[in-house]
Structure 1
């Protein structure tokens, strides 16, 4: 009789989902606000956000990632008129104020909120994020952005934004200040609440951070006591060389966007190499790629739904977005003009991704970009039944080494509801998606290594224990 193999089968790799939304109308699907099933106009109502949070928790999404801009898209045509006319992320409201309400109606869903480093001092921002981490019981993350819209810079009193790499240099110090506040100011047992002595906090265990840098001077203490995670989970979405270097030192979850599997595979490999070069594990950051799913009970029903959505899409509105993301006025080019490797002071990876796609035989013209990004923005769009979508997702993970997907919507909340109804059950049946949540903070749920920053993370070097004499 042949001996039985003692080699355990490799378990299937888990697929992760984030929901990608914004406190505005239509987010990245220009024109879809006109669709009768779209409820993004309810973005000003708390009930929209609380209902969405409950839906996503039903689907065991890792979190909801809320994008933001502090300016208008005014590169296309040299003005913001087209952006205003099409509702291209204007009007837009603050993302941070949504989190407490969503946290109150959920137990596990994470919240990734976008906030820029360019126009707010890190000292008050540190308190705001600590407050959210307390109120959510450790379910908050921060998407670090350096800014890319010239209009935001002008409205904050500057002629233009800093040069691309300079913005990251500024952000490096911004993070240094925050790490010192979050990790290095209060010892874990500083709050004693001793009723007998009348001492609430032991002053000897609260420390000035004494930061004096190029951009910031912060001498004092963090004025909030430590929250469950201390430092919120750090999200980052830059895929340029400087952005990757920044992510390698800081990010615990990274969002990318790539038009093809070939481009995505190269991007994921570059990021994992950079993490390793920074002294971290190759998988120290979860990598999510932007994707839009249109699905239904059958393939035919999904294709019909896609055609219906496409009839509402607005290619000019899509070019408004793309011009802002690329830093290039696409209105000045013929529609059949190929988009190649052109200089950009906005999101450099957008331009480089299209150039990389051309190298692999997929060349995009201006018209292609308008059509391609009219539903879902920069990421690919896949259409099919739940089983077909699951097949495609498995292939993306297997071929690119990505951890999961940052799901944009065509209509909201319908696109997310369709994924929960048609795709997630198939993934669960295949053992590729969890039936529920693990306990713990957002950091614990993402990485399984506890609530606080791991020792090898840059921020850990600023801990009280690392700075104080024994």
Structure 2
């Protein structure tokens, strides 16, 4: 039986997330991003459509990297203003029952002890529906907002990320034994002190004694996501992530990428299918192909090319507004462009992408236009190429999600491409059917189970 796909509603607690310029339209609620009711409506639509999760992207800094300033980011609201994704996820726990809730947090913005405690709390309150998108941040301003002069070099950020997750793994998996909770009212004995442990972590950046102050949550470690497409980013995902977000231009490119990274997952000592590949895609839905194309043209008229270019400049750390659009991008020797160049070349072997190619690939990648049946046909091709799921990118809020939930998802369910209903259990159990709520024994976090008992610590 062919596998079903995973579907996330992909959003950001900001005015404009990916398709910049559309916030000006009358058919979108993006300007009401500060209103909790806006996001409760989005979450309820996603849950009604039986999406697997609501996934929130986030940033923590904006560099003046477009046309020599940051003006375009503010005038066109290119992901600024933006609110904290973790706080919004926490607010949505009580408004949902089954929907997975994934936040984004950078290694820069929270001490690992603090993050571990907050995530465990949220996993308890949500009954095991929490995911964490691990990011290293790319902007100098992000680093400057947290006490650094500039962002550390690319590969060094991933070395830092390995150190960071090592701390939280120890807290989540090793600080409390599975049977540490006794809860004996008669003896006034709640937790066994011999089964709650300090972690004695010392490394280059962190010194954490422990113990973890929160009892083991349903998942202990949240579902782990990572989006880096560079060589170092993919190596990190192969070792640590359970889901990775990709932006392949077509199914053939996705197939090559998936096969390559699954090989890295196996080389890291994990099952190749321990890592799920989630493709970013946007959809324009019509009752006929003609209607869908007309809607797509209408949306395209309002998309801001300046806003898109500013967004890309921010992610790359280079001012595309000052470059010749027909210049091969590799001639610019831009560190942050590695991942996007790789994505383009996977879809176009042997072709050198220009600045214009890169902007097009990044901004308007994998947009599917058509009837629900035509969209389902395309998603079958992507599924057969090896992807495991889709991040559904919106044009209008909540309209894009409502159209997909009400018109496309029923067709996908008929074809076995989407879940019929929510299965019992945690977020992880629903993503990996047949597995338990805890991260599996092949994951590096599992090595800390029982690692801090007196006998193991003395060994």
Q: TM-score range by the shorter chain?
A: over 0.9
Distance across 1 between alignment mates of 2:453 and 2:365: 43
2:420 is matched with 435
Q: Secondary structure at the match of 1:132?
A: helix
Note the C-alpha offset of 1:336: 3.5
2:402 is matched with 417
8 Å contact kept, 1:296–1:418: no
Find out whether 1:452 has 2:438 as its counterpart: yes
Q: Deviations over 1:50-92 (max 9, x none)?
A: 1111111111111111000001142212321111111000000
8 Å contact kept, 1:146–1:167: yes
Distance across 2 between alignment mates of 1:390 and 1:459: 37
Q: Secondary structure at the match of 2:82?
A: coil
Find out whether 1:336 has 2:336 as its counterpart: no
Note the C-alpha offset of 1:367: 4.2
Match of 1:31 among 21, 39, 42: 21
8 Å contact kept, 2:279–2:387: yes
Distance across 1 between alignment mates of 2:137 and 2:147: 14
Q: Secondary structure at the match of 2:166?
A: helix
1:228 is matched with 218
8 Å contact kept, 2:197–2:452: no
What pairs up with 1:59-74 in 2 under 5 angstroms?
59-74=49-64
8 Å contact kept, 2:162–2:236: yes
8 Å contact kept, 1:73–1:88: no
Q: 1:360 to 1:48 in 2, by over 3 A?
A: farther
Match of 1:426 among 408, 411, 429: 411
Q: 1:184 to 1:107 in 2, by over 3 A?
A: same
Match of 1:390 among 376, 382, 386: 376
8 Å contact kept, 2:108–2:146: no
Q: 1:469 to 1:341 in 2, by over 3 A?
A: farther
Q: Deviations over 1:263-310 (max 9, x none)?
A: 322221121111111111111111101111111221111111111111
Distance across 2 between alignment mates of 1:53 and 1:341: 44
TM-score (norm 1): 0.92
2:74 is matched with 84
Distance across 1 between alignment mates of 2:317 and 2:416: 42
2:147 is matched with 157
Match of 2:261 among 268, 271, 287: 271
8 Å contact kept, 1:249–1:458: yes
2:316 is matched with 326
Match of 2:287 among 297, 300, 323: 297
8 Å contact kept, 2:139–2:151: yes
Distance across 1 between alignment mates of 2:174 and 2:335: 35
1:307 is matched with 297
8 Å contact kept, 2:198–2:452: no
Note the C-alpha offset of 1:371: 5.4
Match of 1:54 among 17, 31, 44: 44
Distance across 2 between alignment mates of 1:357 and 1:329: 25
Q: Which moved more, 1:185-194 or 1:417-426?
A: 185-194
Q: Secondary structure at the match of 1:25?
A: coil
Match of 1:143 among 133, 150, 161: 133
Distance across 1 between alignment mates of 2:454 and 2:42: 45
Distance across 2 between alignment mates of 1:241 and 1:371: 22
Q: Which moved more, 1:95-104 or 1:44-53?
A: 95-104
8 Å contact kept, 1:344–1:351: no
Distance across 2 between alignment mates of 1:21 and 1:312: 19
Note the C-alpha offset of 1:220: 2.2
8 Å contact kept, 2:6–2:431: no
8 Å contact kept, 2:257–2:346: no
Which residues of structure 1 form unaligned runs of 5+? 1-10
Q: Secondary structure at the match of 2:369?
A: strand
2:104 is matched with 114
8 Å contact kept, 1:290–1:378: no
1:200 is matched with 190
8 Å contact kept, 2:249–2:361: no
Distance across 2 between alignment mates of 1:97 and 1:280: 33
Q: 1:446 to 1:282 in 2, by over 3 A?
A: same
Q: Secondary structure at the match of 2:401?
A: helix
8 Å contact kept, 1:428–1:434: yes
Distance across 2 between alignment mates of 1:355 and 1:332: 24
Note the C-alpha offset of 1:352: 2.5
